[in-house]
Structure 1
Amino acid sequence: MQLRLSKTDQLLVGVDKALRAIVPHSNPSTRPLPVTSDVLPKLSITEARHVAGLMRINHTGEVCAQGLYHGQAFSAKNDAVRQSMQHSADEEVDHLVWCETRLDELGSHPSIFTPLWYALSFGLGAVAGAISNEFSLGFVAETEAQVSEHLQEHIARLPEQDTRSKEILAQMDVEELHHRELALASGGAALSPTVRRTMRWLANRMKDTAYHL
């Protein structure tokens, strides 16, 4: 039988999850890096900075995913959707750790605006969850589709010899698309073109900022 937490305990768990999303190295990974070699690729200073910028974007994307899922779980209208949101967030913790690890290897750091990205995403997720289950799941599906697009774009922009980053992003892409399929199969509704364009505009502003900061 599943233990039901008190409101206070639920709040404390939520705060813990939020802190783990925004504080680097606060999450244990349940899986090792999805790479075929432990040898770090040799990169020039310019290449390393470029790769770090791309990985910082992807790390920020995973922070945003945590915020969205946590916000949707917070306002979901039934337990099944709430548990589905939390399960997806838990699965993507590994992505967060993988990006942090690669940033460490490159001698770089996550975005300095990480707390802001999380807070904005939590708010968006909470609004989506409050509208309806179908909209909330559709929001997840569209988010994962756009994440997959920029992962594939980044793989193409990486230096040829950086197979390590490419393998990490390729595995993340597989799992993001799987989450999209689950959301659609669970009843996610197609979003309007206006909502999709707005999501893409916001994502592009985040990417432009996180690449540098």
Structure 2
Amino acid sequence: MRKLSLLDKVLTEIDQSLRVVHATAPTTERPNPAADIPETAPLNDAERDLVIRLMRINHTGEVSAQGLYRGQALTANREDIREQMERSAMEENDHLNWTEKRLQELGGRKSLLNPLFYWGSFTIGAIAGKIGDKWSLGFVKETEDQVIKHLEEHINRLPPHALADMAILQKMKADEQHHGEVAMQAGGAKLPFLARKLLMPLMSKVMTKSTYYV
């Protein structure tokens, strides 16, 4: 197998970004957690609007995760780290497709800001990978911790009879916890205090607040 040139890699990442934002990205083919859950009671208009907004946030979070993992895989030094990032990206694609399907079922739409968040996250991931694998992995852990926090918040805000949405978010939370643990086991370093307590929460807040509306 020939080694990919820089142009090959750039074209591959552009293709991947288009699949994530505008089409269907490759997945692990795991079953949708909401597939066999019956609807016990229909959502009223206010509940449906809330669930759509929450699912839009989570969908954009997965778009951002794709960008992050792809950027990190591109610049990772160790081959095993690169493979781990690519596997995690595939699992995040499952989340991407589950949330998009639920948005379609509810009559909602994806965020218009998805291309911006994808390439912003890709850039951050590529820079983190270039700095060093231990910091890149530490960045994964902190990112997953932020995702888990807003997933827990969303789970608590869901209407009690939104069982399909609950199942999706619970499975996403379990996967994010696993990704964070695997990153630290692979040699991730704890990020500096300012990055953990200021930068990462700020980035998370910008994404969640903007995509709630746009």
TM-score when normalising by structure 1: 0.93
Distance in 1, Cα, partners of 2:88 & 2:100: 19
Task: Give 1:185 deviation, angstroms.
Answer: 0.1
CA-CA distance at 1:15 after TM superposition:
2.0
Is residue 15 from structure 1 mapped to residue 18 from structure 2 by the alignment? Answer: no
Tell me if structure 1 keeps the 8 A contact 2:125–2:136: yes
SS at match of 1:92: helix
1:119-138 correspondence to structure 2 within 5 Å: 119-138=119-138
- The equivalent residue for 2:115 is 115
The two structures have a TM-score, normalised by structure 2, of 0.93
- Counterparts of 1:77 and 1:28, CA distance in 2: 24
Q: Residues 39 and 183 (structure 1 numbering): CA distance in 2 closer, same or farther, change over 3 Å? A: same
Please state how far the C-alpha of 1:201 moved relative to its aligned partner.
0.6
The aligned counterpart of 1:143 is 143
SS of residue in 1 equivalent to 2:187 = coil
Q: Which residue does 2:58 correspond to in 1?
A: 58
Unaligned runs of 5+ in 2: none
Shift of 1:14: 2.0
Corresponding residue of 1:183:
183
Tell me by how many angstroms 1:40 deviates. Answer: 7.4
Aligned residue runs from structure 1 range 1-213, under 5 A: 3-7=1-5, 8-23=7-22, 25-27=23-25, 29=27, 30-35=29-34, 36-39=36-39, 41-196=41-196, 197-213=198-214
Q: Percent identity?
A: 44
Which consecutive residues of structure 1, in runs of 5 or more, have no partner in the other structure? none
CA RMSD of aligned residues (A): 1.5
Whether the 8 Å contact between 1:141 and 1:180 is mirrored in structure 2 is: yes
* CA–CA distance in structure 2, aligned partners of residues 5 and 62 of structure 1: 29
Query: Structure 1 residues 5, 90: closer, same or farther in 2, change over 3 A?
Result: farther
Deviations 1:28-58 (A, max 9, x none): 5512320242437511111111100000000
